[in-house]
Structure 1
Amino acid sequence: MSAPSLLGVFAHPDDESLSAGGVLARHAAAGARTAVVTATWAADTPRAGELAEALRILGAGRPRLLGYADDRVPRSAPGRARFRDAPLDEAVRQLVAALREFRPEIVVTHDAYGGLTGHPDHVHTHRVTVLAVEAAGLERLYPEAGAPWRPSALYLATHPHSALRVWGGHLAAAGKSLHSVPDEWISATVDVRPWLERKIAALLAHRTEVARGAAPGLVAGLAESERARLLGTEWFIRHSLRSPALSALPTGTVRTELTV
């Protein structure tokens, strides 16, 4: 049975590689359709070009950019509102259109904390994605955005408390507060080490972030064994959708892959 199609929805270029690069590469290698929607940065910026290279490495097609401004970098989208300042209905409509156009079986996005660092753009991307996934299947909502499509599953990329033993030593030293969830909340723990080379190559394709010492820069300076410790596993919470048939997995059930 082939892997289900997968659409990632993330805040910034590089989030796709950090949060779900292994899963994206895994699904693409299995012949599934994969793609990524990125909420911020304009198409004519260097970071959009870096995103295109990263997605090529992961097998995730062309960039799909909503084109809003990064919360902390106004030049990321000159003349456009910051993502968090844009009308919520406008952002949801754009993402509904992307969902209906790509028609994924699985959607992956940030968790409600916005991942380890809690970046406000990550948090807002989570909110917009949850709303859009629900709206995409309702024919009377945003009829101009295409024919209705309801994904079968929504997964939230996250980190369990136990992962802080690895990540904490790197990010705590940078003065960052960390956001994680109880281990029992995890629905899927995915070993992505077979696709780690692609994941790291995609991450390092974000050369702007490498140069400024952000997370890709941190990874660039690590030994191969430490890269595997940091990035060889990806964790996800399955978000309950309204249909009983699509409800969350029973408590204590942990998959080793993302399933519909």
Structure 2
Amino acid sequence: MSTGGRRPFPDLLAVFAHPDDESLAAGGVLARHAAAGARTAVVTATWAPDTPRAAELAEALRVLGAGPPRMLGYADSRVPPSAPDRPRLLDAPLDETVRELVAHLRAFRPRIVLTHDAYGGPTGHEDHVHTHRVALLAVQAAGLERLYPDAGAPWRPDALYLATHPHSAVRSWSGLLAPTGKRMYTVPDDHVTAAVDVSPWLDRKVAAILAHRTEVERGAAPGLIAALPDRERALLLGTEWYTRLGLAPTPPGGTDADPELWS
């Protein structure tokens, strides 16, 4: 995030389960970093590159300034035709999936990595939860030269940020989410280490969400957002919340090496 003019915005790689997760969970931060001149990119764990949803992902990333899609190409756990020649993400060998993500981390060399929280975000989707676990393993492994030596030169990001939602936010949304009829998985407010006002980039975030036309048409989260008035969209999407996990070595004195990357 912004550092008060002291240094550039850090390069950022986001790792999410499905096309549209990047826009819903972190579209504002991705747009903000790209607008500030940082390199940004997204790795998507599921869906094959030759599907309509991959084309929609490419359009969303263009809107956010996050480069071309980087797709692991596994099948969505609930939509086997999403990658008919590949296993479901949940069924793929863990070591294989971690190695693929390590290769992306070492190739892009981000200072910050974003991914789902341990719940997999408010929906608790099993692919989100698994992607969280893969990302945790991969960011640790990427900096160790004897792990996956064929996946590129070692690289250790400074921090991993988990996209999350505090209890208080969901309470404030009141009836906005009632049409989903779903249980919401949220964290105590004091688990949030960065609450980012992304309202200046809200137009880009909404445009990226709506680029996922398949999900709009079937009434998934992008469809819910498409039906909302601008004021309610701003309430639902104008802030993004993250929990920071430091990855850099702790210097003498016991503080994080760079605790204000997102201040």
TM range (shorter): over 0.9
Q: CA deviation at 1:2?
A: 1.3
**Counterpart Cα distance in 2 of 1:196 and 1:152:** 27
Paired letter, 1:62: P
Among all aligned residue pairs of Structure 1 and Structure 2, give the percentage whose two residues are the same amino acid: 72
The alignment status of 1:258 with 2:258, answered yes or no, reads no
Give the match for residue 198 of structure 1: 204
Give yes or no for contact 2:60–2:208 (8 Å, CA) kept in 1: yes
Give the match for residue 36 of structure 2: 30
Out of 152, 155, 165, which is 2:161 matched to? 155
Q: 1:248 to 1:72 in 2, by over 3 A?
A: farther
**Counterpart Cα distance in 1 of 2:241 and 2:89:** 26
The alignment status of 1:169 with 2:184, answered yes or no, reads no
**Counterpart Cα distance in 1 of 2:14 and 2:100:** 15
Paired letter, 1:78: P
Q: CA deviation at 1:167?
A: 4.0
Paired letter, 1:9: V
Give yes or no for contact 1:166–1:230 (8 Å, CA) kept in 2: no
Q: 1:13 to 1:248 in 2, by over 3 A?
A: farther
Give the match for residue 232 of structure 1: 238
Give the match for residue 92 of structure 1: 98
Classify the secondary structure of the residue corresponding to 1:234. strand
Q: Deviations over 1:11-70 (max 9, x none)?
A: 000000000000000000000000000000000000000000000000000000000000
Classify the secondary structure of the residue corresponding to 1:235. strand
Which range is displaced more, 234-243 or 136-145?
A: 234-243
Out of 33, 49, 61, which is 2:67 matched to? 61
Q: Deviations over 1:125-152 (max 9, x none)?
A: 0000000000000000000000000001
**Counterpart Cα distance in 1 of 2:34 and 2:76:** 28
**Counterpart Cα distance in 1 of 2:247 and 2:168:** 27
**Counterpart Cα distance in 2 of 1:50 and 1:248:** 42
Which range is displaced more, 157-166 or 120-129?
A: 157-166
**Counterpart Cα distance in 2 of 1:155 and 1:10:** 12
The alignment status of 1:119 with 2:125, answered yes or no, reads yes
Runs of 4+ that moved beyond 4 A: none
What is the RMSD computed on CA atoms of the aligned residues?
A: 1.6
Calculate the TM-score normalised by the size of structure 1. Answer: 0.94
Q: CA deviation at 1:113?
A: 0.3
Report the count of equivalent residues.
253
Give yes or no for contact 2:75–2:82 (8 Å, CA) kept in 1: yes
Classify the secondary structure of the residue corresponding to 1:66. strand
Q: CA deviation at 1:258?
A: 2.6
Give the match for residue 152 of structure 2: 146
**Counterpart Cα distance in 1 of 2:40 and 2:173:** 27
**Counterpart Cα distance in 2 of 1:134 and 1:168:** 38
Out of 73, 76, 80, which is 1:74 matched to? 80
Q: CA deviation at 1:239?
A: 1.6
Give the match for residue 222 of structure 1: 228
Query: 5+ unaligned residues in a row in structure 2: which ranges?
Result: 1-6
Out of 185, 189, 192, which is 1:186 matched to? 192
Give the match for residue 47 of structure 2: 41
Which range is displaced more, 105-114 or 174-183?
A: 174-183
Calculate the TM-score normalised by the size of structure 2. Answer: 0.93
Give the match for residue 23 of structure 2: 17
Paired letter, 1:10: F
